[in-house]
């Protein structure tokens, strides 16, 4: 293959890493990012999350709450250090590391989803005390969905109760990961001093006298470390041999296996998603971060190490087109995030092939429109640096382009293709919002429109009956932050209604439906006639429509109108007007009129037919069920279990970690409002919980009546 690198680029593709840092809430993602930026020389002073001074938490709301809300992109360069007796795959070469720090809170799951879609690798952070937590599982599954190779970092090893071996066991059992330690912490809690480098069989000791742990020494293993390191090495090599044919053959043929062979084989296994290396340390205490960055560079892939991104032709989804990472190829990138700030509207994108320069014309296959690139910037969280060009494998932002949405492909007009966009979950909660002053109505509408463009899990609609503006999102915190942003960024004060649950409707049995639209009022009439069957569909598939009309009883040109009528009819169910999900519709038959038939008539006939069938299909109301995990001192376990039962919760299991009991339950979202106050009251402030959407379930009959009444009967 010819050299894919442009002579003008600062860092060649093989020395580029695009990584994300993802984890459960409070595992230490932002603190770890801050340390990496410090050690790579990007910042000269470490900012702490609890002081509201972390580089990547640059929004006011993030600084106040100590949480990450929006994924922040930063770029760093790293030079691996040459050390005596320690083998590194790449020595003394400068590497470009693009890092995205993602939120841990389930309400901002879209940020994690879209970041993982464009990253080549991830650092998966776990808490040394709590191990695998509910959101850890969600994030891990998201990474699996996009096939992102990952390294696990067990953070907070300085905390009381930290246990590295327990977390490794947890990762294997709960996540089913083939996880093996490569950097084992030496000591724990107050005695944490460094790491055992398993592959090199050395100890790395981080100095305490240097405030930021920038200096460390490498020494030979001592005492109990020797046996521990030997056992870990043998297990690691055996695990790699099981998944890497090259090293496996060397082992079977009893050839000598060098450190380089092990490292290269581990790199291949990680990139193939067959092994997850694990490292332990403490970002806050500055122990173990430098060697973690080395591990990222040694084992996580660069853009050339993974299969090229595949898109499909705009006109034919069956025709696949690969976007090879090559600077001289035709430009192709994915817009994965939109953000509005004082500089204007930013579109974050990841380049998969070719390069883009200021003044170039880029094409959007979705809108079939071209735009000129006015300004390109590299982002350092809230600091923007103008650049002239952006090459394959890089992440940057465009300023001022107009009609771009999250998930759009940007490409060269002569090579139209569509890359797979990230997928996002449905909102589970909604509420009415109105401006405090009538004059702000238009301003609020524009601001909400901008916010919904930025966030694919935030929806805005107008209730046709009441005229209210309804906003929907992933949770109470999500909507609270968005209302806060309306006030701060867009200067719109709002009043909000009580949060409403996103109920759904579905059917329990198949049914037939018939719809007819016949209008004759002088001149040209309207005629459409549709016969269809509806049946319960596959869970999670939404609404599917299939054309089974034979003999042209519905002319081919009206089939699409029938399909869009079917989908429109499912937006309002017949119990309480909620959307109907998991339903399959077969178009069976109908009739047409040579003169009076048109698309609108068939669309209306299809809507009538679906409504007719829904009335016979014994529909039921569904509610979102949350997976809740509560951690509490054992003294309060009984009270918290009793409270969850009162909330119609079902206890799924219990674990104990030391003196802490961990309860797992499934509870309807409708019963979880105000739970944070309740759990604090029951446990004198000592218990905590986290929850995330799990699935939809049928609502008990007595509650259905109350919901229907509240909605003013079926719509």
In angstroms, the CA 176 to CA 170 distance is 9
In angstroms, the CA 296 to CA 639 distance is 45
In angstroms, the CA 401 to CA 418 distance is 19
Kindly indicate the confidence band of residue 650, based on its pLDDT and cuts at 50, 70 and 90.
Answer: very high
Kindly indicate the confidence band of residue 209, based on its pLDDT and cuts at 50, 70 and 90.
Answer: low
In angstroms, the CA 123 to CA 592 distance is 60
Asked whether the predicted pLDDT for residue 38 surpasses 60, the reply is yes
CATH number of 429-500: 3.30.70.870
Cβ–Cβ < 8 Å for 352, 419: yes
Q: Does domain 13-299 have CATH number 3.30.465.10?
A: no
Cβ–Cβ < 8 Å for 669, 626: yes
The one-character DSSP state at 472 is: E
Region 220-245: what's the mean pLDDT? 93
Cβ–Cβ < 8 Å for 531, 516: no
pLDDT of residue 88: 67
pLDDT digits (tens, 9 = 90+) for 400-413: 787 888 788 898 88
Kindly indicate the confidence band of residue 72, based on its pLDDT and cuts at 50, 70 and 90.
Answer: low
Question: How deeply is 64 buried, as exposed, middle or buried, from its count of CB atoms within 10 A (0-12, 13-18, 19+)?
Answer: exposed
- Residues of the chain with pLDDT > 90, as a percent, come to 24
- Tokens 């060649």, residue? 12
Residue ranges of domains in the chain: 13-299, 309-419, 429-500, 505-617, 623-710
pLDDT digits (tens, 9 = 90+) for 373-399: 888 887 665 567 888 888 888 888 888
Question: How deeply is 495 buried, as exposed, middle or buried, from its count of CB atoms within 10 A (0-12, 13-18, 19+)?
Answer: exposed
In angstroms, the CA 298 to CA 325 distance is 20
pLDDT of residue 213: 56
pLDDT of residue 387: 85
In angstroms, the CA 86 to CA 97 distance is 22
In angstroms, the CA 612 to CA 524 distance is 27
- Tokens 């107008």, residue? 462
Name the CATH architecture for the domain at 309-419.
Beta Barrel (2.40)
In angstroms, the CA 38 to CA 35 distance is 5
- Tokens 């994030």, residue? 139
Asked whether the predicted pLDDT for residue 109 surpasses 70, the reply is no
Cβ–Cβ < 8 Å for 310, 409: no
Fold match, 13-299 / 505-617: no
pLDDT digits (tens, 9 = 90+) for 162-205: 899 999 999 998 888 999 999 999 988 888 888 999 999 999 88
Q: Give how far the C-alpha of residue 277 lies from the chain's centroid of Cα atoms, to the nearest Å.
A: 22
pLDDT of residue 651: 92
Region 634-663: what's the mean pLDDT? 88
Cβ–Cβ < 8 Å for 101, 686: no
pLDDT digits (tens, 9 = 90+) for 238-297: 999 999 999 999 989 888 889 889 999 999 999 999 999 999 998 888 888 888 888 988
In angstroms, the CA 407 to CA 110 distance is 12
Parallel/antiparallel/unpaired status of strands 395-399 and 344-353:
antiparallel
pLDDT of residue 53: 47
Tokens found for residue 76? 């760093």
Cβ–Cβ < 8 Å for 95, 17: yes
pLDDT of residue 23: 79
CATH number of 505-617: 3.30.230.10
pLDDT of residue 584: 94
The answer to which of 208-222, 460-474, 678-692 has the lowest mean pLDDT is: 208-222
Return the SS3 of 460.
strand
Region 476-484: what's the mean pLDDT? 82
Name the CATH architecture for the domain at 623-710.
2-Layer Sandwich (3.30)
């Amino acid at each position: 293959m010819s050299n894919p690198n442009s002579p003008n680029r600062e860092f060649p593709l093989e020395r580029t890493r695009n990584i994300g840092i993802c984890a459960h809430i409070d595992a230490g993602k932002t603190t770890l990012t801050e340390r990496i930026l410090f050690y790579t020389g990007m910042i000269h002073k470490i900012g702490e999350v609890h002081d509201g001074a972390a580089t990547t938490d640059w929004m006011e709301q993030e600084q106040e709450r100590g949480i990450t809300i929006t994924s922040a992109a930063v770029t760093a360069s790293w030079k691996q250090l040459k050390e005596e007796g320690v083998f590194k795959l790449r020595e003394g070469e400068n590497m470009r590391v693009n890092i995205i720090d993602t939120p841990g809170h389930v309400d901002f799951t879209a940020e994690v989803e879209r970041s993982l879609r464009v990253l080549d690798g991830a650092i998966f952070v776990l808490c040394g005390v709590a191990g695998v937590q509910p959101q850890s599982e969600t994030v891990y599954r998201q990474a699996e969905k996009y096939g992102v190779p990952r390294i696990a970092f067990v953070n907070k090893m300085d905390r009381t109760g930290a246990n590295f071996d327990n977390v490794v066991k947890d990762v294997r059992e709960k996540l089913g990961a083939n996880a093996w330690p490569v950097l084992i912490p030496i000591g724990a809690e107050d005695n944490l001093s460094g790491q055992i480098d398993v592959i090199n069989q050395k100890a790395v000791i981080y100095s305490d006298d240097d405030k930021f742990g920038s200096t460390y020494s490498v020494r030979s293993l001592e005492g109990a470390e020797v046996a521990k390191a030997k056992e870990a090495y043998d297990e690691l090599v055996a695990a790699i041999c099981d998944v890497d044919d090259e090293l496996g053959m060397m082992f079977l043929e009893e050839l000598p296996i060098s450190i380089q062979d092990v490292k290269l084989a581990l790199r291949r296994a990680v990139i193939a998603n067959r092994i997850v290396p694990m490292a332990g340390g403490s970002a806050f205490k500055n122990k173990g971060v430098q060697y973690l960055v080395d591990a990222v560079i040694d084992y996580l892939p660069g853009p050339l190490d993974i299969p090229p991104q595949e898109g499909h032709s705009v006109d034919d989804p069956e025709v696949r087109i690969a976007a090879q990472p090559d600077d001289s190829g035709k430009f192709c990138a994915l817009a994965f995030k939109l953000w509005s700030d004082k500089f204007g509207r930013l579109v974050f994108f990841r380049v998969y092939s070719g390069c883009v320069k200021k003044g170039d014309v880029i094409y959007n296959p979705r809108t079939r429109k071209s735009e000129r690139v006015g300004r390109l910037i590299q982002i350092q969280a809230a600091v923007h640096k103008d650049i002239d060009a952006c090459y394959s494998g890089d992440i940057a932002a465009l300023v001022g382009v107009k009609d771009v949405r999250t998930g759009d492909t940007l490409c060269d007009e002569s090579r139209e293709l569509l890359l797979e966009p990230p997928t996002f979950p449905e909102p589970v909660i909604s509420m009415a919002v109105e401006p405090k002053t009538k004059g702000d109505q238009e301003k609020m509408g524009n601001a909400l429109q901008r916010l919904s463009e930025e966030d694919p899990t935030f929806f805005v609609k107008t209730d046709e009956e009441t005229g209210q503006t309804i906003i929907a999102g992933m949770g109470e915190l999500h909507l609270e932050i968005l209302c806060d942003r309306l006030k701060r960024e867009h200067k719109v004060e709002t009043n909000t209604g009580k949060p409403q649950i996103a109920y759904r409707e579905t059917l329990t049995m198949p049914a037939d439906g018939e719809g007819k639209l016949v209008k004759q009022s002088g001149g040209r009439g309207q005629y459409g006639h549709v016969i269809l069957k509806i049946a319960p569909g596959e869970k999670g598939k939404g609404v599917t429509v299939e054309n089974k009309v034979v003999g042209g009883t519905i002319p081919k040109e009206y089939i699409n109108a029938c399909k869009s009528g079917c989908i429109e009819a499912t937006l309002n169910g017949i119990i309480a007007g909620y959307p109907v999900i998991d339903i399959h519709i077969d178009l069976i038959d109908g009739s047409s009129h040579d003169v009076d038939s048109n698309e609108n008539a068939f669309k209306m006939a299809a809507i009538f037919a679906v409504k007719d069938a829904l009335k016979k299909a014994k529909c039921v109301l569904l509610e979102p069920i949350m997976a809740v995990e509560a951690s509490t001192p054992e003294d309060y376990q009984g009270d918290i279990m009793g409270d969850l039962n009162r909330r119609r919760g079902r206890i799924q299991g219990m674990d104990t970690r030391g003196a802490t009991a961990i309860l797992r339950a499934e509870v309807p979202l409708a019963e979880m409002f105000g739970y944070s106050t309740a759990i604090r009251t029951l446990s004198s402030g000592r218990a905590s919980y986290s929850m995330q959407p799990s699935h939809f379930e049928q609502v008990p009959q007595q509650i259905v009546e109350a919901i229907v009444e509240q909605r003013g009967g079926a719509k």
